[in-house]
């Protein structure tokens, strides 16, 4: 095996991102550059991501972003030994832009290509900051996904549970919108919630008493939207934001609590590791609650550095590097996939898990 220097490309939603990651023989990882061009300003007037605008913006900026990733890393094309591009799940117009770019680079430079599953990127993202060995229990919580997975290694994920409607980040965003906060609402809602009374507004506890590890946020979203109507005082809005954040963190913790108890039984005598990843992993209240849970069950707690919680290309480059190190790569006709579950078997067995209007991205 040799040292790998991989270019990663991410265009599955509203961030055009490129990164160069080096993976050494012994598994050590170094992020040489991570460039992210957010399209937030372009989508802001519409209160959410507009797929056509996103795809066009990716086309306009991708070559400049990749060039900057190389120059920030202090490398040239001659130093790159592989390319990884997100091939799904996500908004397919954007995915096609990044994947086509990656294919063109692979063809022109005669490099191996990895068509990366965006969720696998999130799954390895904590490994960008620390050496976290497999296996681990993973809570993947972002704008499009909310699931508990057992990660035994690259390409070996077992889904334990998933949202039956909205993702947690989607709930944060929609409730934030009801409170008049700009998109993306998660971080704005977290700011508004500071110092608020977390149990002032009683919000529903979904799926309580169920023995599986699924999530549901649509009831909470509706209740919060109703409570937001007519709230004008800063204190009321702050308390509602705090109550919402508390209720979302509580549900994430309640389901993870049960999954940890089960995982612990099945991994007796082994080191227990828990990873939370995805945009919502940036939320302090969510992290605190999950960290406490880890203490209760004897798990070590891991989360990516904040800059690698939300979408980035370093996690895509690392997922590609880990695949290349195992001798895995993809052909140049690898398709762009709007839907692409990490655990295909679980998704096929449970097709009712179709979250939100965005469809079954996960
Ligand atoms: O992982 P990500 O960048 O994109 C997807 O793959 O979906 O996650 C974005 C989501 C958005 O819903 C955003 O509101 C949420 O993560 N998010 C947060 C925070 N930072 C980002 N939610 C709550 N608190 C935060 N601090
Ligand atoms: Zn993501």
Substitution site in 116, 186, 319 for ligand 1 pocket (most atoms within 8 Å of beta carbon) = 186
Beta-strand relationship, 156-162 and 273-277: unpaired
Q: pLDDT tens digits for 77-113? A: 999 999 999 999 999 999 999 999 999 999 999 999 9
* pLDDT, mean of residues 113-134: 97
Q: pLDDT tens digits for 145-154? A: 999 999 999 9
Q: From the CA of 90, how far away is ligand 2's center (Å)? A: 9
Distance CA 242, CA 217 (A): 16
167 Cα nearest atom in ligand 1: 12
15 Cα nearest atom in ligand 1: 3
Q: pLDDT tens digits for 187-244? A: 999 999 999 999 999 999 998 888 899 999 999 999 999 999 999 999 999 999 999 9
Q: pLDDT tens digits for 38-54? A: 988 898 888 788 999 99
Distance CA 80, CA 83 (A): 8
Q: Are 242 and 197 in contact (CB under 8 A)?
A: yes
Which listed ligand is nearest to 278 at the C-alpha?
1
Nearest CA to ligand 1 atom 8: 279
184 Cα nearest atom in ligand 1: 14
Q: From the CA of 235, how far away is ligand 2's center (Å)? A: 32
pLDDT confidence of residue 353? 55
Which listed ligand is nearest to 141 at the C-alpha?
1
**Closest C-alpha among 276, 309, 272 to residue 291:** 276
pLDDT confidence of residue 361? 41
pLDDT band at 344 (very low <50, low <70, confident <90, very high): confident
Averaged pLDDT of the chain: 94
* pLDDT, mean of residues 61-80: 98
Q: pLDDT tens digits for 306-336? A: 999 999 999 999 999 999 999 999 999 999 9
Residue ranges in 267-299 assigned as alpha helix (H): 284-297
Domains annotated on the chain, with CATH: 4-129+308-349 (3.30.420.40), 136-303 (3.30.420.40)
Distance CA 44, CA 34 (A): 24
pLDDT confidence of residue 351? 63
Residue 151 half-sphere exposure toward CB, CA atoms < 13 A: 28
Residue 274 has pLDDT above 80, yes or no: yes
Residues with CB under 6 A from ligand 1: 13, 142-144, 169, 172-173, 184-187, 190, 278-280, 282-283, 310-311
Within its chain, how far is the Cα of 24 from the centroid?
A: 25
Exposed, middle or buried, 194 (CB in 10 Å: 0-12/13-18/19+)? exposed
- φ/ψ of 207, rounded to 5, equals 60, 20
Beta strands in the chain (DSSP E): 4-10, 15-23, 29-38, 82-88, 113-117, 136-141, 146-153, 156-162, 273-277, 300-302
Which listed ligand is nearest to 49 at the C-alpha?
1
311 Cα nearest atom in ligand 1: 3
Residue ranges in 202-353 assigned as alpha helix (H): 218-228, 234-266, 284-297, 314-325, 344-349
pLDDT confidence of residue 1? 62
Q: From the CA of 283, how far away is ligand 1's center (Å)? A: 8
Q: Cβ–Cβ contacts within 10 Å for residue 3, how many? A: 13
More confident residue, 74 or 183: 74
| Whether residue 135 has a cis bond before it, omega within 30° of 0 | yes
pLDDT band at 71 (very low <50, low <70, confident <90, very high): very high
Residue 305 has pLDDT above 70, yes or no: yes
Does the CA dihedral 246-251-252-255 come out positive or negative? positive
The H or E element containing residue 46 is none
pLDDT confidence of residue 218? 95
Which listed ligand is nearest to 277 at the C-alpha?
1
pLDDT confidence of residue 354? 46
């Amino acid at each position: 095996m040799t040292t790998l220097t991989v270019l990663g490309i991410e265009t599955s939603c509203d961030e055009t991102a490129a990164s160069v990651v080096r993976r050494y023989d012994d598994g050590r990882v170094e992020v040489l550059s991570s460039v992210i061009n957010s399209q937030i300003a372009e989508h802001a007037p519409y209160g959410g991501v507009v797929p056509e605008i996103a795809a066009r913006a990716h086309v306009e900026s991708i070559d400049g972003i990749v060039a900057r990733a190389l120059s920030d890393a202090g490398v040239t094309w001659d130093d790159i030994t592989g390319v990884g591009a997100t091939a799904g799940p996500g908004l397919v117009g954007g995915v096609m832009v990044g994947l086509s770019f990656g294919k063109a680079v692979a063809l022109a430079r005669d490099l191996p290509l990895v068509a990366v599953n965006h969720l696998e990127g999130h799954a390895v993202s904590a490994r960008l900051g620390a050496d976290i060995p497999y296996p681990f229990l993973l809570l993947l919580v972002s704008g499009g996904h909310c699931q508990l997975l057992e990660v035994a290694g690259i390409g070996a994920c077992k889904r334990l549970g998933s949202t039956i409607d909205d993702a947690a980040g989607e709930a944060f965003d929609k409730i934030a919108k009801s409170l008049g906060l700009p998109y993306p609402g998660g971080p704005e809602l977290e700011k508004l919630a500071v110092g608020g009374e977390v149990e002032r507004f009683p919000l529903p506890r979904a799926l309580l008493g169920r023995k599986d590890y699924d999530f549901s946020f649509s009831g909470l979203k509706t209740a919060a939207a109703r409570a937001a109507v007519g709230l004008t005082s800063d204190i009321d809005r702050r308390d509602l934001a705090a109550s919402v954040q508390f209720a979302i963190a509580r549900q994430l913790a309640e389901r993870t609590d049960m999954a940890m108890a089960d995982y612990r039984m099945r991994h007796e005598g082994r080191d227990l590791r828990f990873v939370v990843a995805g945009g919502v992993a940036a939320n302090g209240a969510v992290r605190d609650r999950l960290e406490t849970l880890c203490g209760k069950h004897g798990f070590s707690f891991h989360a990516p550095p904040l800059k690698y919680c939300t979408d980035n290309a370093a996690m895509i480059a690392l997922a590609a590097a880990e695949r290349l190190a195992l001798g895995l790569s993809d052909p140049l006709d690898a398709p762009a996939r709007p839907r692409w579950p990490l655990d295909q078997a679980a998704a096929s067995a449970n097709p009712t898990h179709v979250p939100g209007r965005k469809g079954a991205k996960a």
